[in-house]
């Protein structure tokens, strides 16, 4: 098919067939679409999409892809003969190293259910058999049966385009509860052949059948045929299978004889090399539309064998990891070892719907997603701290908003509460997709639960000191204004609840200028109480303590000012000047600005966590955490522990000599020794 150099869908006067340059996921062939008139499908998709938000977004992506290709061509043209010779030597060395890792001792089987969702619906409703049918709606299809694929209808295609391609198409709504049930039935069969099988989705799995073949003295093809029959007997559904020496090739093989078929690639190097040599690069998992175009348009690579032929250019213009990936494909290498169990990093779900601005509808979708996410987490016994909201707008812009919570949660109520705040910060907005993801689970990478007694900065502020004694009976000042405005818990800091929009300038809040004023006022009160608290006296004999003079305080104050200046100078690109929340005018609005600037007013410049501007308390807590972390590092390495408390005391007017006898402090630990945050505050509190 001819390639047009115009932007996607642009009406070039010299071209009478603009759809030929329009390539989207809708026009990609799937199993069962071999005999489809591709040009007809491409033309209808182009005509139905033209002028839509999706079309405009595709044009933007196409322009970006073309710019990327042009940049790569420029780099390609700059390679000299000497450069190519140098990179060829590197490529040859890498090919030899990769070839040495080839393992032909394992037998892997990839099983893929045939049009899974559609097959389940047909099984439950036999009247759909033999008729073109798709699971989904007019806005988006989840899958289509093989009768519908003959017309060019496929998954991830809008229903209205599918109806144009196939006027007799039947739509069936999605029912994930039903699909999960049948997926569990298939997995019971898989466990008989490999208890540690790898499930990549509801309808796909990788099985290591090496031991089964050896124990029973049968071939991989016989195991595949037996497994397919067992799945059919157990569920009434059909599946396709691929058998190969590694997982990458097994997945390719399972797609060759779909539906209800199988393909076996022998565990022989020559057979693997022959098979991979003529294989189109798009058949390989991990090579998508953009990568395929770059490899074709810049390097002229269309098959996997050509990866090795152009290895010098791949090593010269791509990163080490990308080049290794391409060379491995050219050699037909893939994963052969059974991956060790790893605690999952995240769990998520999302749903697509017609673009809408209806807030009630969007909140209802959020409720559904929260319940589904909570159910999935409880099923696996997970508790998470970082909640991410994924949104796709009507213009196909993808947004991601995340918040890290003070405690681990799994209930749908907690998830919904925090997700609602993230969503509310985006209004007004028109959305067509919404998703929720939970990460940062309660077990660390070694599977060891975190210490439940480990204190946080929030615990310290509310409880008074790290030893556990409360400095005051803390009560929110706005409890009479709205029950939901602030929620106070012994295990977390006051959290602003975005579900309410109460006016903080009520009669009970006359002395509070804003949310931030209220926060700093509370912290100021705590600081006052800490300054007035009496340090416990040790029963051991106390050494004679030098009584501080005005000169001593002046010297220490100068040292502290120098220390703060160094702290600010080392982070001048992120931190705003001044850490002065505990001065004589702590309640003024001008002193309430955040400790550092948020990138695009959303993202933390230090750790990358995203918090909308409406998350006032959470953002303040987050900045406090980074400040304490920074101070702790400085204290551990530079022994400046006594400077900040003295400066605070000086700012409060205590410049004269003190009659209070202070306990002798222990020397600061070495920089190599970890200092818990609560231990840091226990020591610094003694100077208040």
CA distance 32 to 151: 10
Range list of H helices, 246-358: 247-254, 269-277, 289-299, 305-309, 311-317, 320-331
Cα 133 to chain centroid, rounded: 34
DSSP 650-669: HHTT--S---SPPPPPPPPP
CA distance 198 to 194: 9
- 336 in Cβ contact with 245 (< 8 Å): yes
Please say if 547 is a catalytic residue.
no
* Burial (CB count within 10 angstroms: exposed 0-12, middle 13-18, buried 19+), residue 318: middle
Tokens of 45: 């998709």
CA distance 340 to 317: 33
CA distance 207 to 110: 6
Helices and strands (H, E) in the chain, number of each type = 23, 14
Cα 370 to chain centroid, rounded: 17
Closest CA to 250 of 290, 214, 215, 223: 223
CA distance 10 to 438: 41
Query: 594 φ, ψ to 5°?
Result: -70, 160
Cα 667 to chain centroid, rounded: 43
Longest dimension (CA), the chain: 98
CA distance 71 to 394: 31
DSSP 190-230: HHHH-TT-EEEETTEEEEE-HHHHHHHT--HHHHHHHHHHH
Identify the helix (H) or strand (E) that includes residue 558: helix 550-570
Closest CA to 175 of 231, 126, 129, 119: 119
3-state secondary structure of 147: helix
DSSP 8-state code for residue 113: E
Q: Show Cβ contacts of residue 84 under 8 Å, excluding neighbours closer than 6 positions.
A: 312, 313, 316
Tokens of 54: 């999706």
| Active-site position among 147, 204, 617, 621 | 204
DSSP 8-state code for residue 304: S
Cα 491 to chain centroid, rounded: 27
CA distance 187 to 235: 11
Tokens of 465: 């000191």
CA distance 267 to 244: 7
3-state secondary structure of 363: helix
| Rg of the chain taking only CA atoms, in angstroms | 32
CA distance 503 to 611: 22
Whose tokens are 């989705």? That residue is 201
* Beta carbons within 10 angstroms of residue 299's beta carbon: 19
Range list of H helices, 468-535: 515-532
Active site residues: 204
């Amino acid at each position: 098919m001819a390639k047009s150099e115009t932007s996607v869908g642009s009406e070039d006067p010299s071209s009478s067939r603009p759809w030929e340059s329009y390539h989207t996921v809708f026009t990609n062939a799937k199993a069962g679409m071999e005999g489809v008139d591709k040009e007809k499908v491409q033309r209808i998709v182009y005509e139905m999409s033209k002028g839509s938000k999706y079309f405009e977004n595709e044009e933007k992506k196409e322009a970006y892809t073309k710019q990327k290709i042009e940049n790569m061509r420029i780099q390609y043209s700059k390679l000299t003969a000497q450069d190519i010779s140098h990179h060829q030597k590197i490529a040859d060395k890498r090919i030899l190293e990769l070839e040495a890792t080839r393992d032909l001792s394992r037998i892997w089987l990839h099983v893929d259910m045939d049009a899974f969702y559609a097959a389940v619906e047909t099984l439950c409703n036999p009247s759909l058999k033999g008729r073109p049918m798709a699971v989904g709606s007019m806005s988006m299809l989840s899958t289509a049966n093989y009768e519908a694929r003959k017309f060019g209808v496929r998954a991830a295609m809008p229903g209205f385009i599918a109806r144009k391609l196939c006027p007799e198409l039947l739509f069936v709504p999605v029912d994930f509860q039903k699909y999960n049930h049948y997926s569990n039935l298939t997995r019971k069969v898989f466990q008989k052949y490999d208890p540690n099988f790898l499930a990549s989705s509801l309808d796909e799995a990788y099985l290591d059948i090496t031991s089964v073949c050896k124990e029973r003295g049968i071939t991989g093809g016989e195991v595949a045929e037996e497994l397919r029959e067992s799945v059919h007997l157990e569920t009434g559904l059909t599946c396709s299978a691929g058998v190969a020496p590694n997982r990458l090739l097994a997945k390719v093989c399972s797609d060759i004889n779909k539906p209800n078929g199988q393909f076996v690639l022998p565990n022989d190097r020559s057979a693997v090399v022959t098979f991979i040599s003529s294989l189109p690069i798009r058949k390989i998992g991990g090579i998508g539309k953009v990568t395929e175009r770059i490899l074709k348009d810049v390097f002229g690579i269309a098959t996997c064998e050509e990866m090795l032929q152009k290895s010098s250019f791949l090593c010269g213009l791509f990163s080490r990891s990308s080049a290794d990936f391409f060379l491995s494909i050219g050699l037909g290498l893939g994963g052969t070892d059974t991956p060790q169990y790893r605690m999952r990093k995240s769990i998520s779900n999302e749903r697509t719907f017609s673009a809408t601005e209806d807030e009630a509808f969007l909140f209802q979708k959020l409720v559904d997603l929260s319940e589904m996410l909570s159910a999935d987490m409880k099923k696996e016994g997970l508790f998470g701290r970082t909640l991410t909201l994924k949104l796709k707008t009507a213009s196909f812009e993808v947004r991601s908003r995340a918040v890290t919570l003070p405690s681990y949660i799994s209930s749908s109520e907690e998830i919904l509460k925090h997700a609602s705040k993230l969503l509310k910060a985006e209004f007004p907005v028109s959305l067509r997709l919404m998703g929720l993801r939970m990460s940062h689970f309660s077990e660390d990478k070694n599977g060891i639960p975190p210490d439940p007694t480990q204190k946080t900065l929030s615990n310290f502020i509310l409880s008074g000191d790290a030893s556990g004694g409360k400095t005051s009976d803390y009560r929110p000042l706005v409890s009479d204004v709205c029950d939901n405005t602030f929620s106070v818990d012994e295990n977390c800091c006051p959290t602003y609840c975005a579900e309410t929009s109460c006016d903080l300038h009520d009669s009970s809040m006359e002395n509070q200028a804003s949310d931030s004023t209220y926060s700093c006022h509370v912290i100021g009160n705590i600081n006052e109480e800490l300054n007035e608290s009496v340090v416990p006296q040790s029963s051991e004999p106390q050494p004679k303590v030098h009584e501080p003079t005005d000169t001593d305080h002046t010297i220490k104050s100068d040292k502290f000012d120098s220390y703060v200046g160094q702290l600010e100078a080392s982070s001048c690109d992120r931190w705003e000047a001044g850490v002065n929340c505990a001065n004589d005018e702590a309640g003024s609005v001008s002193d309430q600005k955040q400790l550092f600037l948020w990138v695009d007013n959303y993202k933390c410049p230090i750790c990358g966590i995203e918090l909308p501007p409406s998350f006032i308390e959470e953002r303040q807590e987050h900045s406090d955490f980074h400040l304490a972390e920074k101070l702790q590092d400085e204290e551990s390495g530079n022994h400046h522990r006594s400077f900040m408390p003295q400066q605070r005391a000086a700012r409060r007017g205590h410049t004269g000599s003190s009659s209070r006898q202070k306990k002798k402090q222990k020397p600061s630990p070495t920089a190599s020794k970890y200092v818990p945050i609560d231990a840091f505050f226990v020591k610094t509190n003694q100077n208040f």
